[in-house]
Structure 1
Amino acid sequence: MKKTLIAMGVLGAFSSLAFAASNVTLYGIIEEGVIVQKAKHGDNKVELNSGFGQGSRWGIKGVEDLGNGYSAGFVLEQGFNADNGNEATSGKAFNRESFLYVKGGFGSFGFGRTGALSFAQTQAILTGWAFGTSYGASSWQSAIANNFSRMDNVLSYATPSFNGFTGHVMYSNGLTSDSEKWSDNNHYYGIGIKYQANAIKSSLIFEAADNKGTATDAKTAGDIMTQQEYALAVAGVAAEDYKAWAKVDANKEAYKTWAKTELAAGEAAKKPIYVINYGLEYNLGSWTPMFAYQFAHQNNGRRTHMFGLSASAQVAGGKAMLGARYVFGKDYAKKVGANEVAVDGDVRAWTIGAAYEYPLSKRTAVKTYAGYADSGKEWKEVEDVAYNGYQVYLGLRHAF
């Protein structure tokens, strides 16, 4: 009788554990392949690459029903490099996402580490670009763009759906740390609207980072003066006489030299950056055309417009993607791409890419990609495949 009771107790315990664990899921993706690429003026490179199309990761997610339409859940997701087994971000146990949330009739509220509204992960709402934030030079997140990535110390809220519309608000109390006083932490602010109903998917996102706490200890003239104001001060020219002064070739060269070096005395503080992303997708059944636009503004940084046209389609049992985009505007960066390339004026770039994913099973697929980028004006000599060069990729992805 005692053995029977013990056996029943053990079975009951295992049953309880199984029930408790029934809403917890272990999942992951491993993607690895070979990439051949060449940047302008650079060498041909052949590399084993992890996560080119989808980042290699494993994760645990779970949800608990709290009753009355409420639930609590979590996502813990770690990225890794399949080619060498290293962490994708050294020192972070769950670098991709570490997020706790509650849901109910009010919508969804959560906090932790996650991706920005215009990036990836569970809180993102970016639409309008077939390649999303993956596929190297064709990523909406590539070097020629101005975007936000994953962030620490995030608070995120999403409204319930109203006829297909949802509102989203996100705030980071410190993109990487909030241990200092509030004014010395670098904050992120995001607000967006997403629409998803029938064949249409669309989003409009406004984001900003105040870049607090990034100034050098000693303030420089660039912190408090515009480039024109500084040039006038150095030349000893009154503002009303500026037009006559600027016509002198020597003065033009002096001003250009200063703009490139941004004051030899030290770095100016980074200015706040503002980014708007808009995307639209229309599902026509066998294929989905897409449109995306980005505007970015940062004093002493970039002021650019980026347009993208892309599409995804079901072809020969797999998924094909094609996209082209064009960027133009101004850039005043001290470093662009892999080299110390200073720019101080008009920039432009265009990128074209194509990808194909063929499923071998429900969980395994072969992936291919080819892309080319070309830049002009101040970016024409940047040695980076996102600006100038090509990429070709062949890989295998397995999901579990």
Structure 2
Amino acid sequence: MKKTLIAAAVMAASGVAFAASNVTLYGILDTGIGVSKVKHQDTTVQMTTGMDSGSRWGIKGVEDLGNGYSVGFVAEQGFNSDDGNVANGSYGTTSGFTREMQLNVKGAFGTLAAGRFGTLASGAGSYNILQGWAFGTSYGDQGSWTRFGKAWARTNNTLVYVTPAFGGFTVSAMYSNGLSADTDKWSKNRHYYGLGLKYAGGPLNGSLIFEAVDGRGTAEEGKEGTLTNKYFANLGLGPVYDADQVKVEDKKDMTLDKQKTAYGITAGGSYDFGAAKLFAIYQYAWQKEMYNQHAFGLSVGVPVAGGEAKLGARYLIGKFDGEAKRNAKDFGLDDKYRAFNIDAGYTYPLSKRTKVYGFAGWSDGAKAYNNVEKGAWNGWTVAAGLVHSF
């Protein structure tokens, strides 16, 4: 009741009429300390934000229309608890409700929603169905599944339909009419397509997700040095030109061709044995003229001393395809890449709304990823923090 009254006061102060049957103000603050090292870079000690749970605040509400139907909304803003800046921006949305902005209708037919939210395998938002990794999308470069495998975060201009549950199964279909904007004609907007099957049945949970993002609108003209580094960044590699070389190469113009459609199939699940919960996940992702790769993960969660201990390991194996393979060889790079990662963590609840956590993760890359200065492939992190929900 208190949070509902606060939400009403916030909306009244902003000049918004308040006439909903159920409106709630909610949020999470996660602040900690992290020590990390990326290959060839200095060790850093930083105040962290959102390592375990992304810091956020939001307003959500629902109106009962009767006969089993309702209309609801979610407006959720991400922020950094260490400096107050906006967080979770992607695809051009860098202010406002960056985490989620949706309007939905629910009934016997299922759920239909529109707006901005996480994709099916993003690990984020109301309609994410990703299963199979004990650390989810937490703990940054070393811990998050979506920084190890391929993912498409949160998208704008998005529709989703979720069926009613049948025998523990639900089916989700998602489409974005423009990842960042849909103001151009359809053939120039970049689109997301997702189809997923989720199962929740007692100790067993699982999901199977197919996703595709077309390459419409990705052709780009610019300076050769800058665009070349951007091209290799899209392959998960570091810059091939340093700052001085970029200045030289940028004297020439260059055109990046339109990308091919990128695909991903992700299957994951967990089984709760009581004494331990076992997780397994696999993803195959490919994009013609760019890459094809396999990512595997095994992890476990175990109740320990009133909290939960987690341990996990992942392995990535991939190779560049077509034009990307030829370009990598032109710069003396291996056309194959590998990465290995191991994580350990512990969370302990101080109350129903507050918990502490500790985490340690280490990653190592090989072949083309051997010297990439990116924590997901080469680096380590040790962190601890406090999470409070309201």
Q: Structure 2-normalised TM-score?
A: 0.82
- Unpaired segments ≥5 residues, structure 1: 1-18, 219-260, 335-340
- Look up the equivalent residue of 1:346 and give its one-letter code: K
1:330 aligns with 2:319: yes
Matched letter for residue 351 of structure 2: S
> What residue is the counterpart of 1:168 in the other structure?
172
* Mapped pair 1:114 → 2:103: no
Q: Is residue 367 of structure 2 the alignment partner of residue 377 of structure 1?
A: yes
**Larger deviation, residues 90-99 vs 168-177:** 90-99
1:98 corresponds to 2:97: no
Any conservation in 2 of the 1:353–1:372 contact (CA below 8 Å)? yes
Q: 1:146 aligned to 2:150?
A: yes
Q: Aligned pair 1:70/2:69, yes or no? A: yes
Q: One-letter code of the match for 2:104?
A: Y
Q: Residue 37 of structure 1 corresponds to which residue in structure 2? A: 36
Instruction: Tell me the secondary structure at the aligned position of residue 187 of structure 2.
Output: helix
Q: Which residue of 1 aligns with 2:81?
A: 82
Task: Give, as a single letter, the amino acid of the residue that structure 1 aligns with 2:120.
Answer: L
What letter matches 1:191 in structure 2?
L
Distance 2:159 2:99 in 1: 16
Counterpart contact for 2:118–2:128, Cα < 8 Å: yes
1:199-235: CA deviation from partner (whole Å, max 9, x where unpaired): 11000000000020111359xxxxxxxxxxxxxxxxx
Deviations 1:173-210 (A, max 9, x none): 00010000000000000000001112110000000000
| Bigger mean CA deviation after superposition, 278-287 or 118-127 | 278-287
Unmatched 5+ stretches in structure 2:
1-17, 223-248, 325-330
Partner of 2:59: 60
Cα distance in 2 for partners of 1:343, 1:36 equals 31
CA contact (8 A) 1:40 1:384 kept: yes
Aligned with residue 320 of structure 1, among 309, 320, 323:
309
Asked whether the 8 Å contact 1:215–1:269 carries over to 2, the reply is yes
2: distance between equivalents of 1:342 and 1:93?
Answer: 43
Distance 1:74 1:49 in 2: 30
Quickly say closer, same or farther: Cα 1:104–1:372, change in 2 above 3 A.
Answer: same
Structure 1 contact 331–343 (Cα < 8 Å) conserved:
no
Name the counterpart of 2:190.
186
Q: Following TM superposition, by how much is the alpha carbon of 1:265 offset from its aligned partner in structure 2, in angstroms?
A: 4.7
Give the length in aligned residue pairs: 333
Mapped to 2, the partners of 1:207 and 1:106 lie a distance apart of 24
Contact in 2 for aligned 1:128/1:292 (Cα 8 Å)? yes
Could you say which residue in structure 1 is the equivalent of 2:278? 289
1:23 CA drift (Å):
1.4
**342 and 286 in structure 1: CA distance in 2 versus 1, 3 angstrom threshold:** farther
Counterpart Cα distance in 1 of 2:192 and 2:176: 5
Aligned partner of 2:181 among 177, 185, 189: 177
Letter in 2 for 1:60: I
1:267 Cα offset (Å): 2.1
Larger radius of gyration: 1
* Cα distance in 1 for residues equivalent to 2:274 and 2:21: 35
SS at structure 2 position matched to 1:79 = strand
Q: Give, as a single letter, the amino acid of the residue that structure 2 aligns with 1:281.
A: S
> Quick check: 1:343–1:379 contact (8 Å CA) kept in 2?
no
Say whether the 8 Å CA contact 2:218–2:257 is kept in structure 1.
no
For the 8 Å contact 1:279–1:290, the answer to whether it is kept is yes
1:353 and 2:343 correspond: yes
**1:213 maps onto 2:217 in alignment:** yes
What is the percentage of aligned positions where both structures have the same residue? 51
2-side partners of 1:21 and 1:342: how far apart? 62
Deviation at 1:322, TM superposition (A): 1.1
* Alignment-mate amino acid for residue 138 of structure 1: G
The change in CA–CA distance for 1:39 and 1:217 in structure 2 (over 3 A counts) is closer
Letter aligned with residue 70 of structure 1: Y
Cross-structure match for 1:240: none
Contact residue 20 and residue 63 of structure 2 kept, 8 A: no
Q: Deviations over 1:224-257 (max 9, x none)?
A: xxxxxxxxxxxxxxxxxxxxxxxxxxxxxxxxxx
Q: Distance in 1 between matches of 2:332 and 2:263?
A: 22
Q: Deviations over 1:234-292 (max 9, x none)?
A: xxxxxxxxxxxxxxxxxxxxxxxxxxx9x985323222100011001111123210110
Which residue in the other structure is 2:259 paired with? 270
The one-letter amino acid paired with 1:184 is K
What's the counterpart of residue 158 of structure 1? Answer: 162
Instruction: Work out whether 1:300 is the aligned partner of 2:289.
Output: yes
Query: Which 10-residue stretch deviates more, 103-112 or 355-364?
Result: 355-364
For 2:214 and 2:85, the matched residues in 1 are separated by 32
- Kindly provide the amino acid, as one letter, of the partner of residue 62 in structure 2: V
In the TM superposition, residue 138 of structure 1 has moved relative to its aligned partner by 1.7
Relative to structure 1, is the Cα distance of residues 133 and 343 closer, same or farther in structure 2, using a 3 angstrom cutoff? farther
Letter in 2 for 1:307: F
Cα-Cα RMSD: 2.2
For residues 211 and 342 of structure 1, the distance between their equivalents in structure 2, rounded to whole angstroms, comes to 27
Partners of 1:327 and 1:264 lie apart in 2 by 35
Calculate the TM-score normalised by the size of structure 1.
0.80
Shift of 1:342: 8.0
Shift of 1:20: 5.2
Query: Helix, strand or coil for the counterpart of 1:183?
Result: helix
